Amino acid sequence: MSILRETNPDDAKLREAGFDPALAPADALAKLRELKGKPGIADLAIARALGKIADAGAAAMLTEMEAGAAGAIRREVRRALYRLKQHGIDAPASTAAAASTSHDNATEKREKSEKTAMLSPIDSEGARIVWIVKPRVQGGVIRLWALISEREGLVGAQNTGLSRRELKSEREELERRAQVKLVDADWSVADFIACEAWRNTPESRRGHVGNFLTLRSELIASAPPTALLHPVYAELAAEAAGEPSVELLKEPELLEWRIPDAILKPYVEEIGRAGESVIVLNPLHKQERVNAVIDRATEELLTGDNGRAVQRRLEDIAYYMARVGRRTQAGWAAAAAARLRDGIDATKVLFFQAFIRTQLGTVAAAEQQKAEDEPRLIMTPAEAMRAREAREARTRRR
């Protein structure tokens, strides 16, 4: 029987479409969600694959499939759920078990629908503002405010009781003062962003940002989420399946994005040495050495923890863009994130090549400008005069 399962044509088509059972659970689930419903991909194969992923997300997806399934597909879903149960993973309380607690579930659903959230765009330093809002029984709302930094984690958090008029006024004032637009968001996405920032906050700094988990518990009873199937992959499914365009690099969110100089400088210095080498005299060979450094930088900066950080930022950029009416650009960002999620070789993707070249070029230009601005310790009078004239000319141009 195991041989038959391995050679099942539906399972083979699933693998041909890009699904790899060896992927990490979160990545495998995201890939199966992406493939579900596509021509040639059978729900039976999706269900069988889910039954082999020891993760609560697999049980949740199977439960979703069961709701509209019948016949052979429903039987396969039930078999997959049983296999997961043998590994200690129970299906979410949504079918027979949910019937006995329908009132509680309805209450929870109502509470979830009442919560709202707002997100600012990510600025050049990787900072943004997250608001999660919940109505209060006595009227008005309680707002969890969080300031998040991509590099430092959670910078600040506080809860404030407000009237709805005050909430509206504060939103308008923030948008006016910062010249940005807060977008309405799914509160669960905002909650994940805030919790992710808390986990990324160094222990030495957590005492300076308040007891975030206590503040959060005033609005949200569930445990802090540790994983997110980002909604952009469903919202922008068609666009995410395409190629990310280099035109995305012209958007403010990408133009202002700076990978920390400390990470980029070793590659910039190596490129400089390759370009100045007196050993390799052939310009073509020098360019090949430079390209090899750029390829290695692309690979190393877009895999592992670095790659996951870039993927997360692209996901959230796509999410924000979609909510301010920039769907085309949002699709490009989602497509780029999907490439990283699926483990595609970034050096083979034109967008990522251009992205890393831009980042390295920015640091190289800054280093060159700094060198030009720093006077030599010993200068002839003529050199000193030329340096002063050059500085004055740059000042006039500005």
Q: Within a 10 A sphere around the Cβ of 26, how many other Cβ atoms?
A: 16
pLDDT of residue 204: 85
Q: Any idea of the CA torsion for 279, 282, 283, 285, to the nearest 10 degrees? A: -80
Residue listed under structure tokens 């390799």: 280
Where are the extended beta strands (E) located within the chain?
116-119, 127-135, 141-149, 153-162, 183-185
What is d(CA 80, CA 67) in angstroms, rounded to the nearest whole number?
14
Predicted local confidence at residue 100, as pLDDT: 37
pLDDT reported for residue 161: 95
Instruction: Identify the burial level of 326 via C-beta atoms within 10 angstroms of its C-beta, where 0-12 means exposed, 13-18 middle and 19 or more buried.
Output: middle
Provide the whole-model pTM. 0.65
Q: Cα 137 to the chain's mean position, in Å?
A: 35
Can you give the C-alpha Rg of the chain in angstroms? 26
Which stretches in the chain have pLDDT values below 50?
Answer: 1-6, 94-112, 377
At 132 the pLDDT is 97
Domain chopping of the chain, boundaries: 2-97, 111-217, 234-368
- On whether the CB atoms of residues 374 and 387 are closer than 8 A, the answer is no
The predicted pLDDT at position 375 comes to 54
